[in-house]
């Protein structure tokens, strides 16, 4: 198994809560806790990054002397803290690795020791470095006034203020006009030129801190009009952003489909959940994910819409988690593996039978991970698992199969690069599991792979969707197509729809579409013959339900 070490995570924050058993023996007068090291404003505090230097807490007894061997547990408002619990050394101190959540603003870390010893460290999480450009509008007004805007975001989609953007205007007669501007508090940079654009003219925006990140915008819009800025091409991405034309100029007529919103508000908003179709009961199941905190609730999608499932109250159930994966396994219900939650990165296996949860004890299971992907191969009666990210931030490239009683590692040789946040779907018509995208060590991938039960094979069509992570991939049983929606790429959140027919990717033309998002969930509802999309993270965490179907 090859491993690639990366730092940070594209996935979402968690709350650390640990049992108090280690504190029971510490009785008597109150102790005191205090922070050691630099002040909060002197620490490195960027969203999604580790706080540096690492926070250190000191536990003191009633006389003010350092206390050795005292247990300390950690709680955070966002992000992760590890280890889950610590013990003070001979100097009375304990250290924690604190990785901030992905949203800017005040975040806190609480250290809780025995006998009332407690203290809280607050820091202001700042937005990350400029990492992506997103179109924000084109306006052609009177007096040949052209206004072009882009939004600059960090790798989590947060707007970046005061970022410097370089501009160039290229006309069909090869004239070039250069300019620059900085983003405002909403991350928007604007340039205004006194020109009237002609068909074929384009404007290029480039990040000053990273010249490899640029966006080219077509400017062929009528005078005195306002139009959204649609990328005409994107550096370092394939020509898939022009949905109706293939390389070489041939038109590729994409299918005409319909996205329609069914409802919103139920289940509660979440991201990083699993949404799996159970062929035995003909019901869709949503488990877990993260809203305000990690969840372990279970909802069913059936003929009457959404309904919260009531599991046996006194029985076992998976801990709250997100970024896990689930798949049917030939029995009633579904199989669940891994994820991340209050206890850190998980490697447990569970089965839901429609009425109760049961933990699956098995030796030789995959290592702890999150952001992996699983699919059910009914022809071979196997659940296939690939990749993910481990507890030490290592990206994984291993392939596993579940046969109903145990996990078995497969060693197929050459396969997809190590990655996290990819998606898979089983193409029943062709008997292959299809994998697309994910985050590799070089960024969001746009490659397509197929697993036939023995070997991985990379498929290299003429055109592919832009690279992305956190998207959904679902097999349309009636139309025999694999449908892709959304995710996050180098440009930010995506809201495009693509279909794979086994030979080529085709961009789908839709009049209305769900907003761009990542970490959502989707199934194909066989009873009603349509794809169902629920939740995910866009400019907020969503609770909406959409269906994708023929007109």
Domain-terminating residue out of 66, 95, 125: 125
In the β-sheet with 225-227, what is the strand arrangement from edge to edge?
Answer: 188-194, 145-153, 132-141, 225-227
For tokens 């699983």, name the residue: 374
pLDDT at 4 over 50: no
Percent of the chain scoring above 70 in pLDDT: 84
Rg of the chain's alpha carbons, rounded to an integer?
Answer: 25
Please report whether residue 213 resides in a domain.
yes
Nearest to 169 by CA among 188, 150, 151, 191: 191
Average pLDDT over residues 94-102: 91
Number of domains the chain is built from: 3
Same domain assignment for residues 27 and 113: yes
For tokens 């009603």, name the residue: 528
Q: What secondary structure, in 3-state letters, does 1-47 show?
A: CCEEECCCCCCCCCCCCCCCHHHCCCCCCCCEEEEECCCHHHCECEC
What b/e string do you get for 349-386 counting C-beta neighbours within 10 Å, with b at 16 or more?
A: bbbbebeebeebeeeebbebbbbbbbbbbeeeebbbbb
Average pLDDT over residues 510-518: 91
Same domain assignment for residues 114 and 140: no
Summarised one tens digit per residue, pLDDT across range 231-258 is 332 333 332 333 333 333 333 445 579 9
Please report whether residue 359 resides in a domain.
yes
Decide: residue 414, CB within 10 A, 0-12 exposed, 13-18 middle, 19+ buried: exposed
Contacts of 115 (CB under 8 A, 6+ apart): 26, 27, 28, 29, 30, 31
Tell me if 7 sits within 8 A of 97, measured CB to CB. no
Please report whether residue 337 resides in a domain.
yes
154-158, 371-375, 440-444: least confident range: 154-158
98-107, 150-159, 192-201, 212-221: least confident range: 212-221
Please report whether residue 251 resides in a domain.
no
Residue-level pLDDT at 360 = 93
Please give the DSSP secondary-structure letter assigned to residue 240. G
Same domain assignment for residues 180 and 62: no
Same domain assignment for residues 466 and 331: yes
Classify strands 344-352 and 357-360 as parallel, antiparallel or unpaired.
antiparallel
Percent of the chain scoring above 90 in pLDDT: 48
Domain-terminating residue out of 125, 153, 180: 125
Summarised one tens digit per residue, pLDDT across range 282-295 is 999 999 999 989 99
Same domain assignment for residues 137 and 74: no
Confidence grade of residue 548 (pLDDT, cut at 50, 70, 90): very high
Same domain assignment for residues 423 and 321: yes
What's the CATH number where 193 sits? 2.60.40.1930
Please report whether residue 243 resides in a domain.
no
Average pLDDT over residues 417-435: 95
Same domain assignment for residues 86 and 173: no
Please report whether residue 235 resides in a domain.
no
Please report whether residue 420 resides in a domain.
yes
Summarised one tens digit per residue, pLDDT across range 19-51 is 344 444 455 556 888 888 776 666 778 998 898
Residue-level pLDDT at 19 = 35
Q: What are residue 213's phi and psi, to 5 degrees? A: -100, 110
Residue-level pLDDT at 155 = 85
Residue 141 structural domain: 132-230
Average pLDDT over residues 268-278: 96
Q: Which two tokens stand for residue 298?
A: 């279970």
Average pLDDT over residues 496-505: 95
Average pLDDT over residues 93-100: 92
Same domain assignment for residues 137 and 121: no
Residue-level pLDDT at 6 = 38
Same domain assignment for residues 381 and 480: yes
pTM over 0.75: no
User: Hey, is 239 helix, strand or coil?
Assistant: helix
Same domain assignment for residues 40 and 143: no
Residue-level pLDDT at 156 = 85
Confidence grade of residue 5 (pLDDT, cut at 50, 70, 90): very low
DSSP 55-82: PEEEEE-TTS-B-TT-EEEEEESSSEEE
pLDDT at 104 over 90: no
Average pLDDT over residues 299-325: 87
pLDDT at 228 over 70: no
What's the CATH number where 20 sits? 2.60.40.10
Q: What are residue 305's phi and psi, to 5 degrees? A: 95, -145
CA separation for the pair 271, 543 (Å, rounded)? 9
Residue-level pLDDT at 62 = 84
Domain-terminating residue out of 72, 93, 125: 125
CA separation for the pair 264, 253 (Å, rounded)? 32
Tell me if 508 sits within 8 A of 490, measured CB to CB. no
Nearest to 518 by CA among 212, 270, 177: 270
pLDDT at 540 over 50: yes
Residue-level pLDDT at 41 = 63
Higher per-residue confidence, 343 vs 499: 499
Same domain assignment for residues 79 and 195: no
Please, what is the average pLDDT of the chain?
83
Residue-level pLDDT at 204 = 85
What's the CATH number where 408 sits? 2.120.10.80
Please report whether residue 249 resides in a domain.
no
Same domain assignment for residues 73 and 97: yes
């Amino acid at each position: 198994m090859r491993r690639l070490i990366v730092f940070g995570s594209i996935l979402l924050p968690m709350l650390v809560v640990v049992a108090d058993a280690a504190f029971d023996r510490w009785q008597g007068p109150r102790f005191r806790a205090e922070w050691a090291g630099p002040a909060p404003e002197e620490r490195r505090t960027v969203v999604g990054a580790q706080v540096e230097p690492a926070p250190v807490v000191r536990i003191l007894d009633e006389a003010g002397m350092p206390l050795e061997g005292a247990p300390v547990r950690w709680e955070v408002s966002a992000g992760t803290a590890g280890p889950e619990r610590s013990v003070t050394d001979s100097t009375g101190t304990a250290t924690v690795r604190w990785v901030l959540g992905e949203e800017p603003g005040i975040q806190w870390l609480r250290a809780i020791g025995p006998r009332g010893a407690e203290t809280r460290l607050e820091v202001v999480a700042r937005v990350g470095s400029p990492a992506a450009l997103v179109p924000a509008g084109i306006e052609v007004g009177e007096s040949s006034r052209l206004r072009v805007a882009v939004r600059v975001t960090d790798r989590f989609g947060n707007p970046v203020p005061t970022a410097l953007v370089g501009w160039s205007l290229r006309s069909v007669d090869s004239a070039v006009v250069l300019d620059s501007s900085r983003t405002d508090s909403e991350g928007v940079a604007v340039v205004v030129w006194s020109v009237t654009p002609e068909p074929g003219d384009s404007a290029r925006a480039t990040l000053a801190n990273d010249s490899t990140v640029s966006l080219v915008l077509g400017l062929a819009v009528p005078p005195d009009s306002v139009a959204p800025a649609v990328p005409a091409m994107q550096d370092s991405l394939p020509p898939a952003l022009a949905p109706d034309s293939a390389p070489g100029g041939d038109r590729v007529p994409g299918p005409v489909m319909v996205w329609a919103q069914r409802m919103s508000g139920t289940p509660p908003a979440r991201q990083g959940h699993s949404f799996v179709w159970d062929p035995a009961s003909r019901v869709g199941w949503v488990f877990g994910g993260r809203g305000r905190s990690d969840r372990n609730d279970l909802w069913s999608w059936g003929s009457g819409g959404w309904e919260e499932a009531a599991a046996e109250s006194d029985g076992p159930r998976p801990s709250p988690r997100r970024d896990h994966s689930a798949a049917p396994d030939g029995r009633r219900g579904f199989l669940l593996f891994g994820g991340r939650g209050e206890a850190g990165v998980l490697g447990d296996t569970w089965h839901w039978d429609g009425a109760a949860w049961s933990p699956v004890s098995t030796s030789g299971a995959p290592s702890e991970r999150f952001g992996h992907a699983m699919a059910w191969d009914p022809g071979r009666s196997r659940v296939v698992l690939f990749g993910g990210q481990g507890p030490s931030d290592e990206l994984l490239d291993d392939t596993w199969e579940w046969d109903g009683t145990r996990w078995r590692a497969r060693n197929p040789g050459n396969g997809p690069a190590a990655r996290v946040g990819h998606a898979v779907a089983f193409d029943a018509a062709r008997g292959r599991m299809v994998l697309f995208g994910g985050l590799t060590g070089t960024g969001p991938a746009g490659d397509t792979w197929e697993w036939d039960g023995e070997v991985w094979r990379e498929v290299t069509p003429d055109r592919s969707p832009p690279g992305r992570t956190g998207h959904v991939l679902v097999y349309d049983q009636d139309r025999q197509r694999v449908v892709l929606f959304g995710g996050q790429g180098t440009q930010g959140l995506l809201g495009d729809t693509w279909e794979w027919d086994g030979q080529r990717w085709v961009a789908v033309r839709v009049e209305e579409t769900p907003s761009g998002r990542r970490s959502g969930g989707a199934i194909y509802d066989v009873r009603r013959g349509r794809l169902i999309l629920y939740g995910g993270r866009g400019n907020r965490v969503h609770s909406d339900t959409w269906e994708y179907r023929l007109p």
